[in-house]
A and B are shown apart, each in its own frame.
Chain A
Amino acid sequence: DIQMTQSPSSLSASVGDRVTITCRASQGITNELAWFQQKPGKAPKSLMYTASSLQSGVPSRFSGSGSGTYFTLTINSLQPEDFATYYCHQYHGYPYSFGQGTTLEIK
């Protein structure tokens, strides 16, 4: 099974900051990596797929990169609505798996 490891587990930042979250896969997953945003009490929302393709409607301040085993999600110029928990997700092979999540908090 493919294990996904995110870092950091939590992150404090201010509005306007740039932050980067990393996600490592235990084996190569090509670019079959998605990112999700989840706010308290809400369902996850898809942000990105194939490592770097933005879902429709997602602001361009979100960007993703990586392939193989190492991936990053970068948020430029943080906005108040960006404070949430972020999950990476591999869909290279079953069983699918998620990272443990990164909680982005307001400093």
Chain B
Amino acid sequence: QVQLVESGGGVVQPGRSLRLSCAASGFTFSTYHMHWVRQAPGKGLEWMVVISSDGTNKFYADSVKGRFTISRDNSRNMLFLQMNSLRAEDTAVYYCARDYKEPLDSWGQGTLVIVST
């Protein structure tokens, strides 16, 4: 069955970096666009970034452009999010989700990132 498993979250100080991973299984990863969506505590969903199936095209929300970088390794069925210059407002649960003919039809369980001193 389709499975997306995020990892890499934790507590990090403002200004530092963190790299999130999303391991995909149960489907042909290389045919799907992949997204990161986040949710601050008690808040709604915020779309952040997408990467095309072959990794050549990426689009970022303004809130993370220039600080976050999405990448993927289709040989290992892995999605990544490199987060630099982290701010308190980046504190959230980060979800990866896939996208093909049906948008965001499967999500991971999320990984919590806390940016705090």
Contacts and interface: CB of A to CB of B under 8 A. Distances in A.
Do A and B interact with each other, yes or no? yes
Interface stretch (B18-26, B76-84, B99-107): B99-107
Interface string A85-98: 00101010011111
Contacts of A95: 47, 59-62
A96 B47 contact: yes
A46 interface: yes
A101 B102 contact: no
B43 to A, nearest CB: 9
Contacts of B60: 95
A36 B105 CA distance: 9
A97 B110 contact: no
Contacts, number: 58
Given A94-B50, A96-B35, A99-B44, 16 more contacts: A34-B102, A34-B103, A34-B104, A42-B109, A43-B107, A43-B109, A44-B107, A46-B106, A49-B103, A49-B105, A55-B105, A91-B99, A95-B61, A95-B62, A100-B44, A101-B44
Contacts of A98: 44-47
Interface in B55-87: 59-62
Q: Indicate the size class of the contact surface on chain A.
A: 20 to 34
B47 A46 contact: no
Contacts of A99: 44
B95 interface: yes
B44 A87 contact: yes
A98 B61 CA distance: 12
Contact of B95 (A44, A49, A89): A44
Contacts of A36: 45, 104
Contacts of B62: 95
